[in-house]
Chains A and B, each alone.
Chain A
Amino acid sequence: MKARVIAVAWWLLVAAALLLAPLALRDRLPDPLATHWGAAGSAPDGSSSFTGHLITVEILWTALWLVMFVLGRRGRHLRAARVTSWSCLIGLGVLLLGVNASTLAVNLDAATWHDALLPGWHVPAALGATVVAMAVAGYAGRGPADEPSAPVQAPPRLKLRRGQRAVWVSRVVNRWLLAAVVLIGAGTVVAATLQLGGIAPEIPLPGILPGAVILLLAGLASMAVSVTVSDTGIRIGFGPFGWPARKIALSAVESAWAEERHPADSGGWGFRGLPGNATIMLRGGECLVLRYRSGGRLAISIDDAERGASLVNALIAERVRT
């Protein structure tokens, strides 16, 4: 309840500042305003009318706030979710305030929008203020530490007969990431072909390529996860080819269970958290949770997790302790 009041108050505060500051300075601002600066230099390359700018900024802030507010309502009981939610909510507000303050400052007393030159320190200053605000908001909103969640019910068990070899294989694919990887890959190939073929030599290929390759590799590694449980241990394979892989010895695991978890609980999609309380989150829903003997835990979003957990427990009981 208190969190909601603070979030709404923050929305009002930022919305009011974004509205009132330009109105107060209206007499000293050109119309249209310079609102966009190119990557190349300090001269503006885009403008917008005074009213249009006000409306755009207010809509942008409200939309971002709504998304953060709705997303932030899930997983409030988890510290990682609270930290993410507060730092995003406050950080985005500070970013918009910073950008708006910079826009007003450069437009102030300019004859036309073409004269609104952007000093080089404005963008780093706005980003720096955002990062600081995110850190402070995340720290202030972290709340009490998570209670160590004991498995809700007894961990599932499975009976293994003597002389039986049992394995469990499962995988999960994030279709959105798969689509993104295909798009990035196709885009890179098209851009490279156009540039190298001399059709569009203005494409800055050396500038694009490293970023595209990093995005592709990161996307490939996190679009699919496969987990194999057998008497040789637990193997977590990343990417469509199950490589690179991480192996966990059965003797390092204390117990396993299946749990419903969502990206909001762990702070988003992808590889989340720190060693000791990490989550491999490709989609919300069923997760396999392993608790290490050292006390840490690892959660992996995967289909058919209940059966996998039961085999892990059976293997630990019969192959490790005896």
Chain B
Amino acid sequence: MLLTLDLNDARPLHEQVAGAIRRAIGEGSYRPGDRLPPARDLAAALGINPNTVLRALRELRDEGLLEFRRGRGVSVAGRADGRALLAQRARELLEEAKKYGYSRDDLITILEDLT
């Protein structure tokens, strides 16, 4: 599982981790039924607290993306929800837009012009 975190991202870390896992599943590196690496391994690799990773995993479970099974660890329950993935991309796009001095409304205008 390939996870990327943006070090300049101001969002809480658990949200970023949840986003990274959602993206990894959405990109097709994991299919429903596949087991995720243990939270401990992910946390050690990212250099963060295992509880942060667990919190992110719980968020994704509540979203229906992951499922926790006793003794079998965490596995992918379903395909990444298209809407959740889009929301995430949009959030990243918004961050990027802000970097160039565009506001949310400017971005909406750009999107409207696209059709």
Indicate, yes or no, whether A interacts with B.
yes
Chain A contact residues, CB within 8 Å of chain B = 158, 160-161, 163-171, 226, 228-230, 237, 242, 304, 307-308, 310-311
Which of A163, A166, A237, A310 is close to B3, meaning CB atoms less than 8 Å apart? A166
How many residues of chain B have a CB within 8 Å of chain A? 17
Partner of B2, one of A161, A168, A242: A168
Contact B7 A169 (CB under 8 A): no
Chain B 23-41: CB-based contact to A (< 8 A → 1; otherwise 0): 0000001000000010011
Question: Do the beta carbons of B41 and A169 come within 8 Å of each other?
Answer: yes
Is B5 touching A164 in the complex (CB atoms < 8 A)? yes
B46 touches A167 (CB 8 A): yes
Main secondary structure of the interface of A (DSSP, over half): strand
26 cross-chain CB contacts under 8 A? A158-B2, A160-B4, A163-B7, A163-B8, A164-B4, A165-B4, A165-B6, A165-B46, A165-B47, A166-B2, A166-B3, A166-B5, A167-B4, A168-B3, A169-B3, A169-B42, A169-B45, A170-B1, A170-B37, A226-B41, A229-B45, A230-B45, A242-B40, A242-B41, A310-B2, A311-B2
B30 CB to nearest A CB, Å: 8
In the complex the two chains form, is B37's CB within 8 Å of A169's CB? yes
Given contacts A169-B42, A169-B45, contact A304 B7 (CB under 8 A): no
Q: How far is the CA of A292 from the CA of B34 in the complex (A)?
A: 31
CB <8 Å contact, A163 and B6: yes
**In the bound complex, do residue A164 and residue B7 qualify as a contact, i.e. CB atoms below 8 Å apart?**
yes
Q: Is B97 positioned at the interface, with any CB of A under 8 Å from its CB?
A: no
